[in-house]
Amino acid sequence: MSLARARSVAVVGIEGRVIEIEADIGAGMPGTKLVGLPDAGLREAKDRVRAAVRNSGRAWPETAVTLGLFPADLPKVGSAYDLGIAAAVLAASSVVPPDKLRGTVLLGELALDGRVRPVQGILPALLAARRLGHRRAVVPAASLPEAALVDELDVVGARDLAEVVDWLRDEADLVAPEPPADPVPDTPVDLADVVGQPEARWALEVAAAGGHHLLLIGPPGTGKTMLAARLPGLLPGLPNDRALEATAVRSVDGSVSREAPLVRTPPFVAPHHSISTAALVGGGSGLAAPGAVSKAHHGVLFLDEAAEFGVDRLESLRTVLEEGEVRIARSRGVVRYPAAFQLVLAANPCPCAQPREIDCTCSPAARRRYLGKLSGPLLDRVDLRVRMRPVTAMRVHGAASPEPTATVAERVRLARARAAARWAEHGWLTNSQVPGPALWREFALPDTTTALLDRALARGAVTARGADRCLRIAWTLADLHGAEWPGADHVAAALEFRDRGAV
């Protein structure tokens, strides 16, 4: 047999596409040609695969070998095709029968001695293979914990190429996956550790209950970072579909845990203010890699010292916050990464950041210039804005102890359950996901309830986008109070959260 086919998967963003690998052994001078838009790493595959085949005790064809990757117009990146290329060549040279290659995808990089090394993007690749009707997959044995997350797909692992050859010849079995291990919980941080700041604690609870973005402004040492770090503890665990999406991003990035790969708790990503725009939203040479916003998918992105971030980095978040995904265009294609996260911004009120505002040495122009990096369009997308005050006493005698995370998280869970039940037929899980037209039409509040909001719109105190966000906050406040519909007091409280005086 001089022509054989095997299948692998190309991952673009977190979307997979099955690649057909054709191997043709024909007459001519010995040599190997690889076609189908391979990148530099993949062009070297023919040398890696040839050495791996020979070091696995099999002969490489001493004639012309042509390898084609279909679809030919799709750029192929990386070394995950090595195992599929080797299987196609061995089938074309009649070393292995082609039967098992039908309906099977093969993923893995080959070492020169034939070992099968793990590659990035196993999870999204297998999800795509399952969606397209493939029933079986061969992956590196080290990647089996991640591959086992995909059900309804027969996944087996290989340690080296010789094992794959024996499996294709029905002479041995490959490694079966073990049941996925439960993720090891992180060391919890408790909301009870935060001293004072009742307004900020309440805003954090509202943000958790409705999935709203949050801005905390105050002097250093008031607890802004502590509060932000405790937001993931208030959020419910990720359901299976969302957990797979969050894990898929880490799979592409190569940061997925080998022992317990599935991300069950909302991610918390806190980049340093020196981060580049490409590292924040995604980018790099060739097809772009995911950025911090995508790693925070279904979790929290925390920008501490937000006014220290470059304006270009902050402004790059505007479209992401609206659309919940990143689209990065390159000459070789457009990459899409999910980026539905909660944004938490923390900033000092001025450059000198004195503990007491009375001691501030900054001029009014310096203060405006410092916070001016947080532009109006960006702030318009932030639902809750809170001004934090200095802590004047570490302990107040006779005062009740601060509520722990567990108590607040239960209220958040009940509020989210009310919202999910209300929006169930529309597919929205939180109030922050409800589009503006639905808030003003199908779920419109009485004029008496929104009178204050209408007056704020008329005098330009809020934009139309800001009005939508006020209504979403009002629904969240109603859910936390157990009310069926928001009242005028909820709308007023929502407007207070949008007060520009906090900035």
Cα–Cα distance, 421 to 418 (Å, whole number): 5
Question: Residue 413: its pLDDT value, please?
Answer: 97
CATH label of the domain that carries residue 350: 3.40.50.300
The chain-wide mean pLDDT, for the chain, equals 91
* Domain closes at, from 111, 137, 168: 168
Judging by DSSP bridges, how do beta strands 154-158 and 300-303 pair with one another? Answer: unpaired
Q: Do residues 388 and 290 both lie within one domain?
A: yes
**Same domain, residue pair 158 and 210:** no
**DSSP assignment of 424-438:** GGGT--SGGGS-HHH
In a domain, 442, yes or no: no
Same domain, 322 and 362: yes
The pair of three-digit structure tokens given for residue 239, joined into one six-digit string = 């359901």
> Tens digit of pLDDT for each residue in 363-421?
989 988 998 899 999 999 999 999 998 876 555 555 567 899 999 999 999 999 999 99
Contact in structure between 201 and 391 (CB atoms under 8 Å):
no
**Cα separation values, 496 from 203, 433, 456, 502, 503, Å:** 11, 21, 11, 10, 13
pLDDT tens column, 192-222: 988 888 999 999 999 999 999 999 999 998 8
Q: What is the pLDDT of residue 128?
A: 95
Does residue 186 lie in a domain region?
Answer: no
Q: Is residue 312 part of a domain?
A: yes
Asked if 93 and 219 sit in the same domain, the reply is: no
Clarify whether residues 56 and 197 are in a common domain.
Answer: no
252 and 136 co-located in one domain: no
Cβ pair 249, 337 in contact under 8 A: yes
Find, among 70, 66, 67, 77, the residue nearest to 20 by Cα: 70
| DSSP for residue 486 | -
Distances (CA, A) of 384 to 213, 214, 444, 495: 6, 5, 22, 9
Q: Are residues 253 and 135 in the same domain?
A: no
In this structure, the answer to whether residues 338 and 373 fall within a common structural domain is: yes
Residue ending a domain, among 352, 379, 405, is 405
**Predicted confidence (pLDDT) per residue in 41-78, tens digit:** 788 898 999 999 999 999 999 999 999 999 988 888 88
Within a domain: residue 70? yes
More confident of the two residues 184 and 398: 184
Residue 173 placed within a domain:
no
pLDDT above 80: residue 479: yes
For the cut 90, the answer to whether the pLDDT of residue 354 exceeds it is: no
CA–CA dist 327, 334 (Å, integer): 7
Quick check: is 105 in a domain?
yes
CB 385 within 8 A of CB 215: yes
For the ranges 43-52, 171-180, 399-408, 430-439, the lowest mean pLDDT is seen at 399-408
Please give the Cα distance from 410 to 395 (Å, whole number). 26
**CATH code for the domain in which residue 126 is found:** 3.30.230.10
Rounded distance, CA 327 to CA 163, Å? 40
For 421-425, what is the mean pLDDT? 95
With residue 5 as reference, give the H or E element that holds it: strand 3-12
Average pLDDT over residues 294-318: 95
Q: Kindly tell me if the per-residue pLDDT of 494 is higher than 60.
A: yes
The CB density around residue 120, as the number of other CB atoms within 10 Å, is 21
Query: In the chain, how many domains are there?
Result: 2
The full DSSP string for 10-26 is: EEETTEEEEEEEEEEEE
Same domain flag for 59 and 137: yes
Nearest residue to 475 via CA among 463, 465, 467, 483:
483
**Tokens encoding 159:** 């340690």
Q: Report the 10 Å Cβ neighbour count for 27.
A: 7
State the pTM of this model. Answer: 0.91
Cα angle 124, 126, 127; round to 5: 60
Mean pLDDT, residues 108-117 taken together: 96
Helix (H) or strand (E) holding 343, with range, is: strand 342-347
CB contact at 8 A, 354 and 472: no
Number of Cβ atoms within 10 Å of the Cβ of 341 = 27
Residue 502 has what pLDDT? 58
Predicted confidence at residue 281, as pLDDT, reads 94
What span, in angstroms and rounded, lies between the C-alpha atoms of 382 and 386? 11
Alpha-carbon torsion 439, 442, 448, 449, what sign? negative
- Judge if 212 and 122 occupy the same domain: no
Read off the pLDDT of each residue in 139-160 and give the average, rounded to a whole number: 94
Residues 6+ apart with CB under 8 A from 280: 271, 291, 292, 293, 313, 316, 317
Distance set, CA 169 to CA 83, 92, 94, 100, 392 (Å): 16, 14, 11, 9, 76
**pLDDT at residue 309 greater than cutoff 60:** yes
Judge whether residue 501 has pLDDT over 70. Answer: no
Paired strand residues for 5: 22
Secondary structure (3-state) at 6: strand
Which pLDDT score, from 0 to 100, does residue 396 have?
54
Q: Are residues 299 and 162 in the same domain?
A: no
Structural domain harbouring 368: 191-405
pLDDT greater than 70 at residue 126:
yes
Q: Which of these three, 405, 429, 445, is where a domain ends? A: 405
**Residues 157 and 212 placed together within one structural domain of the fold:** no
Q: Is residue 287 over pLDDT 80?
A: no
